[in-house]
């Protein structure tokens, strides 16, 4: 967890209520120590949480230490997306990956709420790798790398927003995939993946890795969380914290 937040602190691709994470990194020792991240969770991420005493808030922070990192809630869409390129292999007698996300760009926006917080991620994949020549031949794929035709195009474009609600249970929040879309810029990928259930894929991903029961996917319009480039969408009481 420490390495993930320290690494992310050097980028400008994440915001909290419209404020870049780089601002908070300067206030929390660039997240070099576990205690820095704990304080950040308590003072910033859970700042708007209502009706939860300090003991329960400590339980929430313990939960976030285990889940709010790379491969978890830090990147909810790209983490889930990286797991869907799997297929059952009779030779290995288990699910095996057949492709990798070679080039990916993303932005992440967090919005604090009275019940917890929301995380929204926008993902643009411009290159996919298919290293298994035997698998490629079986599926009629002539290239080991699929690239977007020109700069700015994509092979896969996806977004999703998850809501974490700690109002009922501090140790196991209700997690809702509020909005999600996925589109494809290459016919091979479009034919290979089922885009109708992407929200459920995200929900199943978090159920699987964290053994959570309260994860559900719903269909809704896309609501863009606030960024500094999008001031009209910011919360009326937004302040730079702490």
Alpha-carbon gap, residue 76 to 68, rounded angstroms? 10
pLDDT at res. 100: 93
- Strand, coil or helix: what is 144? coil
- pTM recorded for the entire structure: 0.82
pLDDT tens digits along 64-102: 999 998 888 899 899 888 888 888 888 888 888 899 999
User: Is 114 a residue whose pLDDT tops 80?
Assistant: yes
Would you kindly state where each structural domain of the chain is located, as residue ranges? 2-226
Question: What integer best gives the mean pLDDT of the chain?
Answer: 83
pLDDT tens digits along 189-223: 888 875 556 777 777 777 676 665 555 555 544 44
Query: How many Å is the Cα radius of gyration of the chain?
Result: 19
Burial of residue 91 (number of CB atoms within 10 Å: 0-12, 13-18, 19+): exposed
């Amino acid at each position: 967890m420490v390495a993930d937040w320290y690494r992310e602190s050097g980028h400008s691709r994440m915001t909290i209520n419209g404020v870049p994470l780089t601002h908070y990194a300067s206030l929390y020792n660039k997240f070099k120590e576990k205690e820095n991240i704990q304080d950040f969770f308590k003072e910033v991420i859970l700042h708007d949480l209502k009706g939860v005493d300090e003991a329960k808030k400590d339980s929430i922070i313990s939960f976030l230490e285990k889940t709010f990192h790379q491969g978890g809630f830090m990147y909810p869409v790209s983490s889930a997306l990286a797991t869907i390129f799997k297929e059952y292999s009779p030779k290995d007698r288990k699910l095996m990956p057949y492709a990798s996300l070679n080039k990916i760009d993303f932005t992440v926006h967090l919005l604090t709420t009275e019940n917890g917080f929301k995380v929204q991620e926008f993902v643009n994949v411009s290159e996919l790798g298919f290293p298994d020549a035997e698998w490629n031949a079986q599926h009629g794929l002539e290239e080991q790398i699929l690239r977007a035709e020109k700069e700015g195009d994509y092979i896969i474009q996806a977004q999703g927003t998850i809501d974490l609600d700690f109002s009922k249970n501090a140790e196991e929040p209700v997690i809702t995939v509020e909005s999600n879309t996925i589109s494809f810029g290459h016919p091979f990928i479009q034919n290979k993946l089922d885009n109708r259930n992407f929200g459920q894929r995200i929900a199943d991903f978090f159920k699987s890795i964290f053994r959570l029961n309260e994860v559900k996917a719903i269909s809704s319009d896309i609501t863009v969380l606030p960024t500094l480039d999008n001031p009209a969408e910011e919360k009326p009481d937004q302040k730079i914290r702490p």
